[in-house]
Amino acid sequence: MIVFLIKRLANAAFVMLVVALMAFMIFRFVGDPVQLMVNEQTTQAERDELRERLGLNQSMPMQYLHFVTNAVQGDFGISYRNQQEVMSLIAERFPATIELVLMATIISLVVGVPLGVITAIHRGKWYSEGLQFLSIIGVSLPSFVIGIMLILVFSVMFNILPAFGRGDVVSIGWWTTGLLTPSGRAALILPSIALSFYQITLVMRLVRAEMLEVLRSDFIKFARARGVPAWRVHYSHALRNCLMPVVTMTAMNIGSLIAFALITETVFQWPGMGLLFIQAVTFVDIPVMAAYLCIVSFIFVALNTLVDITYALIDPRLRNAKA
Amino acid sequence: MTVNLTSPSLFARIRQSDLWYSFTRQRSAVFAAILLAVLIISAFTAPLYAPQNPFDPAQLELWNAEIPPIWLEGGQWPYLLGTDTQGRDILSAILYGSRISILIGIASVVFALLIGIGTGLAAGYYGGFVENALMRVGDILLSIPTILIAILVSAIVRELLPPALRDVGAAGVLVLAIVLSGWVQYARTVRAQTAVERGKEYVQAAQLLKVPARRIMFSHILPNTLTPILVAATLNFGMAILTEATLSFLGIGMPPSQPSLGTLIRLGNQFLFSGMWWIVLFPVLQLCLLVVSVNLLGDWLRDALNPKLR
């Protein structure tokens, strides 16, 4: 188990180092950092001093080492665009994205699991075939399209929900939350539905596939034979046995939801990390781009590693598998 | 038993295949195929009948701007679906835009397939260092969300291009971004399949006959790995169109001078609150139809080619 743990963690660390290398290369080679930070009035002496201060005269491996040590301490330098520390910019936006992603995850489970169960139990009925068909459409709709349609219906036509922003927020320490104010809650509805749409179809399809498998097993037949009511067989006995993969997929997908949130955030002008990143991309604000890449990949890799380790804890057979 | 010595024509072989049988039995697949054919043909023949060439600024007249669709009050022939704020006919823009979206989708899938099949075959056949390197690169690319790779590649390559080339090269940049974010999946599928095939007798026989490695890989092993690849390619064609649309929507894809469907949606999105819903709704519908039809076909193909479900 220890060997497995070390192998898995080393693998994760290696991946993160390569991601950091990519971020470093973007930072170093896309445009000259000095050129991007100065204006026309800066003298050559000042430029040289800045170059020295940024450590750009050192050898490349030294610079990379420097970049990694700084990044581990949460220091990603200064944003080119508004001269603020990148980390504080991101920290400011972090709660908005996390709230959106968690809300979308909750919605996807609350809606996706029952739909999956229904389509599995009533296989072949017109409504489950219809739901199955709708799920293909759900996979095919890009999240910005869903966002635009939701705005069109609920904000433009009926004018009942806000289409952009986060509403009023309350700060609790460094965390800001929109969940405690009416306008904050209202503002969260449309973006989280838009973001959860794709996830709902994934959950639904997974639950359906697992349920079909479980419903064929002996203990279900036995439960039926004993006269356990159908709803109990389905929702208590069968469903419980398909939740494991659902939990895994949900945990693993939080990372990609954070990445996909940047599209939703753009549509709804949601002040999260993704919107910050897209603005950084349009202004070629490299430090912000590099930091975002590192942070999102870190969350992604950390969740995957965590899921793998939990699995190995539960199922010893997996420990000998290739890490 | 009589043996038919003349080999049947290609058409007859298709007619007699299991795949064709399963295709004709599945209504959604037939529907999707017809829809996709209509969309592709209408997009590529658009110059023959579209009321206007939306890429040609000389054909845009400002007094034709903001006309609603023809069934609404104020609608005007020949602007069936209305016009945008610059007098661009929405229907023409959609048809020309679909053409760009489809071409970028096809190009990305083809290049990703070429790279993926090449590296996957080599990794699966030779094993060792090539295989390890491929798996490591795959691990890393799979630990970054694909949309993020596509955005970063697209943004960075654009930045590195000289400004004069940015609009001209936009389609190429998009293809590169989508290929780089998608080829690993093919490479892994081919590698896994190749590793299985490598141990089979027909490959050993070919090796004993001193058939060159390249020939064994491409003409002996490759045909046996194509089934999962075909399914992945179809589903990825839909994904590629979506990724292109997403990047263009975010403003790092096709420029407004050559709008793809994503660009049209981005431009239309600005008028969401002005009551001119048709500028955004019709490109959205076209994009959905396109991707839904591709995905329905891919879904059917996956089930039809899956031996477990027969």
User: One digit per residue, pLDDT tens: chain A, 323 residues?
Assistant: 788 888 888 888 888 888 888 888 887 777 676 776 676 677 777 777 777 777 777 777 888 888 888 888 877 777 777 778 888 888 888 888 998 999 999 999 999 888 888 888 887 788 888 888 788 777 788 888 888 888 888 888 887 788 777 777 777 777 777 777 777 888 888 899 989 988 898 888 888 888 888 888 888 888 888 888 888 888 877 888 888 888 888 888 888 888 888 899 988 888 889 889 988 888 878 888 888 888 888 888 888 888 888 877 777 666 665 44
Q: Three-state SS across chain A?
A: CHHHHHHHHHHHHHHHHHHHHHHHHHHHHCCCHHHHHCCCCCCHHHHHHHHHHCCCCCCHHHHHHHHHHHHHCCCCCECCCCCCEHHHHHHHHHHHHHHHHHHHHHHHHHHHHHHHHHHHHCCCCHHHHHHHHHHHHHHHCCHHHHHHHHHHHHHHHCCCCCCCCCCCCEEECCEEECCCCHHHHHHHHHHHHHHHHHHHHHHHHHHHHHHHHHHCCHHHHHHHHCCCCHHHHHHHHHHHHHHHHHHHHHHHHHHHHHHHHHHHHHHHCCCCHHHHHHHHHHCCCHHHHHHHHHHHHHHHHHHHHHHHHHHHHHCHHHHHCCC
Q: Are A230 and A236 in contact (CB under 8 A)?
A: no
pLDDT for residue B235 is more than 90: no
Q: Are B274 and B9 in contact (CB under 8 A)?
A: no
CB contact under 8 A, A297 and B245: no
Q: Rounded CA gap, A108 and A201, in Å?
A: 8
Q: Is the bond preceding residue B78 a cis peptide, omega within 30 degrees?
A: yes
Distance from CA of A228 to the nearest CA of B (A): 31
Q: Rounded CA gap, A317 and A320, in Å?
A: 6
Q: Choose among B145, B242, B272: nearest Cβ to A255.
A: B145
Q: Choose among A15, A267, A278: nearest Cβ to B139.
A: A15
Percent of chain B scored above 70 by pLDDT? 84
CB contact under 8 A, A152 and B147: no
Q: Rounded CA gap, B69 and B211, in Å?
A: 64
Burial of residue A117, with CB atoms counted within 10 A of its CB: 0-12 exposed, 13-18 middle, 19 or more buried: buried
- Which residue, among A140, A278, A305, would best test binding to B if mutated, counting the most B CBs under 10 Å from its CB? A140
Q: Rounded CA gap, B266 and B279, in Å?
A: 10
> In chain A, what residues touch B272 (CB-CB under 8 Å)?
148, 151-152, 156, 163
> In chain A, what residues touch B145 (CB-CB under 8 Å)?
255-256, 258-260, 296, 300
Segment B12-37, tens digit of pLDDT: 777 777 777 777 777 778 888 888 88
- Which residue, among B144, B260, B306, would best test binding to A if mutated, counting the most A CBs under 10 Å from its CB? B144
CB contact under 8 A, B145 and A19: no
Residues sharing a CB contact under 8 Å with residue B57, sequence separation 6 or more, in sequence order: none
Percent of chain B scored above 90 by pLDDT? 4
* pLDDT for the residue A106: 93
Q: Choose among B147, B156, B272: nearest Cβ to A151.
A: B272
* pLDDT for the residue A323: 41
CB contact under 8 A, A267 and B269: yes
Q: Which residues of A touch B (CB under 8 A)?
A: 11, 15, 18-19, 26, 30-31, 133, 136-137, 139-142, 144-145, 148-149, 151-152, 155-156, 163, 255-256, 258-260, 262-263, 266-267, 278, 281-282, 284, 289, 293, 296-297, 300-301, 304
Q: What single-letter amino acid sits at A76? A: F
- Decide which of A257 and B146 is more confident: A257
**Token pair 């539905």: residue:** A193
Q: Rounded CA gap, A163 and A155, in Å?
A: 6
Q: Are B224 and B125 in contact (CB under 8 A)?
A: no
Q: Choose among B144, B147, B295: nearest Cβ to A140.
A: B295
CB contact under 8 A, A30 and B159: yes
Q: Are A288 and A276 in contact (CB under 8 A)?
A: yes
CB contact under 8 A, B281 and A152: yes
Which domains are delineated in chain A?
Answer: 1-81+284-323 (no CATH), 90-282 (1.10.3720.10)
pTM: 0.84
pLDDT for residue B87 is more than 80: no
CA distances from B223 to A90, A91, A109, B218, B297 (A): 49, 51, 41, 8, 21
Distance from CA of A226 to the nearest CA of B (A): 31
> In chain A, what residues touch B139 (CB-CB under 8 Å)?
11, 15
CB contact under 8 A, A140 and B250: no
* pLDDT for the residue B58: 65
> In chain A, what residues touch B28 (CB-CB under 8 Å)?
133
With CA atoms as reference, the chain A residue closest to B237 would be A140
pLDDT for residue B5 is more than 60: no
- Decide which of A24 and B66 is more confident: A24
CB contact under 8 A, B250 and A137: no
Chain mean pLDDT for chain B: 80
CB contact under 8 A, B160 and A145: no
* pLDDT for the residue B1: 45
- Decide which of B62 and A155 is more confident: A155
- Which residue, among B39, B135, B152, B277, would best test binding to A if mutated, counting the most A CBs under 10 Å from its CB? B152
Average confidence (pLDDT) over B168-195: 85
CB contact under 8 A, A296 and B250: no
Size of interface A-B (CB pairs under 8 A): 107
With CA atoms as reference, the chain B residue closest to A280 would be B155
